[in-house]
Amino acid sequence: MRPHTAGRLSTVLLMAAWAAVLAPLPVFATNGMYLVSYGAEATGRAGANLAVSDRTLALNANPAGIAQVQGRHYSMNVSLLAPELSAGNAVNDNLEAEDRLFPMPAFGHIRSRPDSKWTWGIGLVGQGGMGATFKNANTFFGTRDETFTEVRFATLTPTVAYALTEDMSIGASLNLGWADASFRFYPQTSFFNTADPANSFFGVAMQRAGGPQVNLRLGWLWQADPRLSVGAIYQTEPQSTFEDGAMTVNFAAHPQLGRKVKYDAEMDGFTFAAQAGVGLAWRP
C-alpha cells in the first residue's frame, strides 16, 4: 500500500467510522447459522474480519482481502462449537440439552504472483449448523420422550480477487456447498384422540434430508488511509435443496394403521440467510 498524508479525507472518514460504530442497530437472532468468524486470527478479533481480511481464510469473510496476501499460503483450522441450551414449557420446568461438541474444520489455499493483480484461492469450510438433544422430556400426552435436531453445512469455495489499485480490491467467492438436516420430535409417542381425531399426535423422526447449496459472495476492500480500512460484502441466499430423507411416523395408536410407517422425505422453505455487511478498521 502507498503512504498517504493525513488530511481532510482522513478526518471525514474517521468521523463517519465513529458515527457508524456508535449508531444503534437492530440485532436479529435468526439471520442465519453461520459462525461469527473462521480461523484463529479472525476469532481473536471477535469476528471483525470484513475490513481486516489479510489471512487465507479471508476468502470466506471478505474475498477481496486475499489480494493483500502475496505468494502462496496455506491455512488449516478447527473450531469447536459447544452450545449450552435449555428449554421449558407447561409440562417441563427446565430441560437441559445434552452436551455436544460440533467440530468446524476449515482449510484454505491462496496464490498470487508479484507481477499480477490477480489472486486466486480455494477453501473447504465447515460453514455452520448446529443441533440440540433434549431427552426424558414430559410430553402433553402422558409419555416421556425426546426431541433432536441437527443441521450440517459445508462448502468448497473457489475465490478470485483483483487489485483495482494499490489501495482497493474486489473479490468473489463461489460457495459450492452441501447441507443436510435431521430431527426427531417425540418419536416414541403415539396418541389417538378418539373424541377429536384431528387433534391426535403421532411422533416423527426424519434422517438426512440434504442436497446442494450454491451461492455467491462478493467483497470490496479499500485502504483509505494507513490507519483506516473499509470493507463490504454481500452474499446471496443459497439455492437450497433438502431431499432424499427418510421419515418414520409413529402410527402405533392409530386404529387402522397400528404401526410405524416409513416415507421418503424432503423439506421446503428451509435455507440459509443472505448476508450483507460493512466493516471499518482503525489502527492508532
- Write the secondary structure of 88-131 as one string of H (helix), E (strand) and C (coil): EECCEEEEECCCCCEEEEEEEEEEECCCCCEEEEEEEEEEEEEE
Residue 211: predicted pLDDT: 97
CA distance 243 to 209: 5
pLDDT at 53 over 80: no
Mean pLDDT of the chain: 87
With cut-offs at 50, 70 and 90, classify the pLDDT of residue 32.
low
- Tell which wins on pLDDT, 227 or 42: 227
pLDDT(29) > 70: no
The answer, yes or no, to whether residue 22 has pLDDT greater than 70, is: no
Rounded CA separation 10/186 (Å): 60
Highest mean pLDDT among 33-37, 102-106, 168-172: 168-172
Phi and psi of 37, rounded to 5°?
Answer: -160, 165
pLDDT at 198 over 50: yes
Higher pLDDT, 12 or 147: 147
State the pTM of this model. Answer: 0.80
Task: Compare 43 and 58 and report the one with higher pLDDT.
Answer: 58
Asked if 116 contacts 71 with a C-beta cutoff of 8 angstroms, the reply is no
Selected residue with higher pLDDT from 70 and 40: 70
Indicate whether 5 pLDDT > 60. Answer: no
Can you list the domains of the chain with their CATH numbers?
Answer: 8-84+93-136+152-184+208-241+273-282 (2.40.160.60)
Q: Flag whether pLDDT at 27 surpasses 50.
A: no
pLDDT in tens, 87-113: 999 999 999 999 788 888 999 999 998
3-state SS, residue 284: coil
* C-alpha cell at position 96: 437441559
pLDDT at 75: 92
DSSP string over 178-225? EEEEEEEEEEEEEE--SS-GGG-EEEEEEEEEEEEEEEEEEEEEEEEE
- Place 10 in a pLDDT band, splitting at 50, 70 and 90: very low
Contacts of 172 (CB under 8 A, 6+ apart): 63, 159, 160, 161, 216, 217, 218, 219
How many other C-beta atoms lie within 10 A of the C-beta of residue 144? Answer: 12
What is the per-residue pLDDT for 43? 76
Q: What is each CA distance from 6 to 10, 16, 83, 233, 254, in whole angstroms? A: 6, 16, 46, 27, 78
3-state secondary structure of 22: helix
Portion of the chain with pLDDT greater than 70, in percent? 88
